[in-house]
Structure 1
Amino acid sequence: MIHNLSYRAFVYGTENKEKVLESIKTLFPNSLPQCEATEGYYKNPVLILSNKIDKKREIKDFVEKLSKMNDPTRKRILHQLENKMDDSGNLFLRFDKQRAYQGDLKVVEHGDSIHLKIKIAAYPAKKKVALEIARKLFE
């Protein structure tokens, strides 16, 4: 169902890196993100935590987490699938960092989040095929 997952989260100067790491662990408990230091718009320090997951066991664990999300969240994702997927079958979701830190998965639209790219295993790799597979994933 899923080829791989990649995520990215920003740690701003006012945030605690360890708390953001805990937020990521809510989604991916075994992931060790790479850390890249950069600067924000006003020259403030920003860390970018990212990783790509392609191990079947970790992907399966993530799919189980998705299946345990509450119904309104899953329905919201289903309703927005068309807009959240590109023509190559990549599904883009954002999870609230603060809620993830508390163990709750909430899909959000704002940028201060854990950005997730899900490569749907669709053959052929077309949006129409990937949408059908993604619908089954969230139903």
Structure 2
Amino acid sequence: MMLRAHHIRITTFIHATEDEDKVLEAIGTFIPEEIDDDDVLFDVEETKGFFGNPIKVVNVEIKRSRAVRAFLKHFKELLSEGDKRYILENLDEKVDEEGTLYIRFNKQKAYLGEVEVDEGADVIQVRIKVKAFPMRKEAVVKAVKEWLEE
């Protein structure tokens, strides 16, 4: 069973102490090679952190349906059994009322090409806007559950 989604958004922060290229590489861990660069919209915005320190916010969006499908297939393969289990056990709080699945990953591990769910502060957040009918939280939770369990 394939999960269907409208779009994918990946967000993270680049702190002044971090190497921007490395952070973008870490995000690249989540993006399958077969997706065309044109289908991955990158946006880096400069802003200030809580203490006035410069921070860049990276937003990546994948919208085209073929690219979204390729992303979801790759994404599921990246998840360890333990992480799948963790997501399933906490699914109710990982899906919002609008049907978006939110999962955070360890940024340092992603540098190394490893994917690990992490609830910490310095994370890469993946948001999957799931297509479900009817568009209700329960329907989305059910769709994600079937997708991850198979």
In structure 1, the residue matched to 2:62 is 53
TM-superposition CA deviations, 1:36-69 (whole Å, max 9, x none): 0011122211000102211223222222223322
Shift of 1:21: 0.1
The 5 Å alignment of 1:1-139 reads 1-29=4-32, 30=37, 31-68=40-77, 69-139=79-149
Q: Report the residue type matching 1:42 in the other structure.
A: F
Structure 2, unmatched stretches of 5+, are: none
> What percentage of aligned pairs have identical amino acids?
32
**More displaced stretch, 52-61 vs 122-131:** 52-61
TM-score, reference length from structure 1? 0.92
Q: Provide the aligned length of Structure 1 versus Structure 2.
A: 139
**Alpha-carbon distance in 1 for matches of 2:22, 2:84:** 25
TM-score, reference length from structure 2? 0.86
**Alpha-carbon distance in 1 for matches of 2:71, 2:115:** 11
Shift of 1:111: 2.1
TM-superposition CA deviations, 1:22-43 (whole Å, max 9, x none): 0111112543520100111222
Structure 1, unmatched stretches of 5+, are: none
Shift of 1:115: 1.3
